[in-house]
Structure 1
Amino acid sequence: MTSLRIGLVGSRFAAHLHLLAYRRVYGVEAALVGVTSPTAERREALARESGATAYPSLAAMLPHVDVVDVCAPPAAHEPLALEALEAGKHVVIEKPFTGAFGTNDAAFAGNRADKQRLLKDALASADRIVRAARRRGVVLGYAENWIYAPAVQKEREIVEKTGAQILWMLGGESHSGSHSPVYGIWRHAGGGSLVGKGCHPLTACLYLKQVEGRARAGRPIRPASVSCRVHEITRLAGFRDRGFLRTDYQDVEDYSQLHVTFDDGTVADVFATELVLGGVHNYLEVFANNHRTTCRLNPVNLLDTYNPEAAQFRDVYVVEKIGTKEGWSHPAADEEWQQGFYGEIQDFLECCVAGRRPQSGALTAHDTVATLYAGYVSAERGGQDTPVPLAALAEVE
């Protein structure tokens, strides 16, 4: 059995989710042996929690690992991934895969930047990562947990085994605002709700159409065009802030809606916002020619709990971004499992050992980047239908 040494880059929310997933891996001999983060205090704390060695930089960690898991802020994804790939390491990249971040000048305003230029920059970044992985012959995993969520995987099985034609999909991810300190600043995050949240349901839609195409015709069905609108609701002059929503966004949208037309003429609609109270609201509905499915990623009501006094649950984790622990709630029994985090890490490590392609790899990553940033071009043009500039299939498979 091949033993894999894993190095984790990052020390915040996503890094902790991946740490939990590595502890659940089975059938693959693998161990998290290294962590690195620019903040010494945080990397040392994660090292103590995980039992791994803390390294001051990725360069210092690379000789000691076989797999590099990038859980850093989005603007750092490409340079970190390229450094690891050029060293011959397998690489996992947390969402969003990459993007366009403008300049590092504090005066840069992404909401006013030329979106055609940002689309070009985002595609060039994705190209560089994918080509480096192909050149080095290593596994490239795009850590989009929605693809591996049990509900989405069951829908994959239904589509494959019944020969379904998906006619329309409706999906969304929303909550009251990101936990990331750099979210809301385009030069760090690469966009707002569309990129930061919309990437999740969008990628699941792209994945299921790929599955459908391969099952029925031997080739993936891919996005052809998009129409998109974005808005900055919490920065409206008339917005009344009651203190429940995050509002410190500098130059990104807090609401987006994306309409995707695939190359077979079928469609998907994706909504993403920072305007929803009561915890994370994640869903995907699939309307096919032979069935209908609703994938409920969050909330999931395996548990219904009533708590008359919030203080009682001070040390009880209920569910992400619930806002209050008082009253009725749906505590997550195993949030990482239901959201697909265990499944994605399991798949990536199996692929590293077996040399096969992950379910969420270069094709899904590249198509997602192209679709999202074509969406920004459309939004800049008032929702005009805009082509999605795809890479040739041979270049991303």
Structure 2
Amino acid sequence: MQKVRVGLIGSGFVAAIHLEALRKVSGLDVQVVACASPRKAELFASQHGIPQAFSDYRIMLDQVELDVIDICTPNHLHKQMILDVAAAGKDVICEKPLTGYFSQPGDGEPIGETVDRQQMFLKVWADMAEIREAVGRAGVLFMYAENWIYAPPIVKARRILSSIENTTILSQRAEESHSGSHASYARQWSLAGGGSLLRLGSHPMAAVIHLKHFDGQQKNGQPIRVKSIVAETGKFTDIPGVAQAGTGWVTHGFTDVEDWATATLTFTDGTKAIVVSSDTILGGVRNLHEIFHVKGVIQCNMNPNSDLMLYTPGHEVIGSEYIAEKLETSGGWQFAAPDEDWIRGYHHEMQDFMECVASRREPLSGLELACETTEAIYAAYLAAASGTRVELR
């Protein structure tokens, strides 16, 4: 059985999800042999049975025989890590988003309230060009860890669409929302690169773009791309009535990032998509994608879904058993998650990535999708700030 040796950079929430998914890959001998994190590498390694731990990922790259590196770090670290990993000749997996605007010398503080969105857009564009050049020069694979592309409902939607003759995706409505991020860095533009639109909206944004790529490939062998964007953002947790409510259920403390956003995409064929993201939604994570095509409707309900529903009169009944991500209570009627990571595509994502490394083929979710998604998000930021439509093509 062919061996694939993985090095993991990061020791947080996403790193743990990726690690479990990697260990469920079949048909290959996948070995997570090392991890790197400035503060928690040894603890993470001991908790998860990883043989080697490093405080500096560059030492890991230099000292350990590895085939692929999985980057699961805060957003502001992605670009330099991608460049370093590619320069070391290792294949790259990078958690979403690809990159973002964090700060430049001379920027005022806080970033999200002082820096012009056009400046952000142009810098992100230049950074993506640098990443493209580095990956191409090194001849390594780049795998964009956008799990929605691999989620079973989205995969089935693609198969259904491919089986229907002469259909066209007319519009899409896609959303990821919940009550606020696990990570403290998510509240600052200088570390996160944006708010809910970037952190949450990158999932549905990638999915609607991916499906129009697929739509075009089915018709004439060419992807249909984003032509223009209009958008709005909001910061609901600054509204006096919200701040005074003080429930503790919705995350507060966002400094200079939005906690709500919506973007409307127009594609080059004239069709549309609406992307919604919010850090102010109670009731658990919402991962929803509706597809309206010429011959029907497809609804993809990753979360919540009715695979398993349960009722208890109070939260104390369930005890410590996990129900679903971001729930405020386990009491009442609940949409429980039999296997949350599976339905959201993490297992299938890592299966594809490991097969790509082993066989040297390109992934379903690669650098093209990563760049177009990031471009669309920063175009949406520019559109929201300027109150205008931003043309991309």
TM-score tier, shorter chain, comes to: over 0.9
Query: What's 2:117 paired with?
Result: 115
The correspondence of residues 268-347 of structure 1 with structure 2, limited to 5 A, is: 268-347=273-352
The correspondence of residues 148-227 of structure 1 with structure 2, limited to 5 A, is: 148-163=150-165, 164-227=167-230
What is the CA–CA distance in structure 2 between the aligned matches of 1:50 and 1:156, rounded to whole Å? 35
- CA offset at residue 106 of structure 1? 8.6
In structure 2, list runs of 5 or more residues that go unmatched: none
The correspondence of residues 1-397 of structure 1 with structure 2, limited to 5 A, is: 1-39=1-39, 42-52=40-50, 53-62=52-61, 63-64=63-64, 65-103=66-104, 107-163=109-165, 164-239=167-242, 240-241=244-245, 242-382=247-387, 384-388=388-392
Q: TM-score, normalised by structure 1?
A: 0.94
Is the 1:33–1:51 contact (alpha carbons within 8 Å) kept by the matching residues of 2?
A: no
Q: TM-score, normalised by structure 2?
A: 0.95
What is the CA–CA distance in structure 1 between the aligned matches of 2:332 and 2:104, rounded to whole Å? 46
Q: 3-state DSSP class of the match of 2:15?
A: helix
What is the CA–CA distance in structure 1 between the aligned matches of 2:82 and 2:102, rounded to whole Å? 16
- CA offset at residue 309 of structure 1? 3.5
**Which deviations, in whole Å up to 9, do the C-alpha atoms of 1:77-117 show, x marking residues without a partner?**
01111111100000000011111112487933213320001
What is the CA–CA distance in structure 2 between the aligned matches of 1:385 and 1:106, rounded to whole Å? 26
Is the 1:175–1:275 contact (alpha carbons within 8 Å) kept by the matching residues of 2?
A: yes
Identity, % of aligned pairs?
Answer: 38
Is the 2:37–2:56 contact (alpha carbons within 8 Å) kept by the matching residues of 1?
A: yes
Following superposition, which runs of at least 4 residues in structure 1 exceed 4 angstroms of deviation? none
Moved more, 123-132 or 8-17: 123-132
What is the CA–CA distance in structure 2 between the aligned matches of 1:61 and 1:106, rounded to whole Å? 35
What is the CA–CA distance in structure 1 between the aligned matches of 2:389 and 2:96, rounded to whole Å? 25
**Which deviations, in whole Å up to 9, do the C-alpha atoms of 1:163-199 show, x marking residues without a partner?**
4310000011111000011011001000001101111
Is the 2:108–2:115 contact (alpha carbons within 8 Å) kept by the matching residues of 1?
A: no
Is the 2:23–2:30 contact (alpha carbons within 8 Å) kept by the matching residues of 1?
A: no
Query: What's 1:395 paired with?
Result: none
- Shift of the 106–113 alpha-carbon distance from structure 1 to 2, 3 Å rule, reads closer
Is the 2:214–2:223 contact (alpha carbons within 8 Å) kept by the matching residues of 1?
A: yes
In structure 1, list runs of 5 or more residues that go unmatched: 390-397
Q: What's the C-alpha RMSD, in Å, of the aligned pairs? A: 1.4
What is the count of residue pairs matched by the alignment? Answer: 386
Is the 1:103–1:187 contact (alpha carbons within 8 Å) kept by the matching residues of 2?
A: no
Is the 2:87–2:138 contact (alpha carbons within 8 Å) kept by the matching residues of 1?
A: yes
- CA offset at residue 132 of structure 1? 1.3
Q: Amino acid of the residue matched to residue 302 of structure 2?
A: L
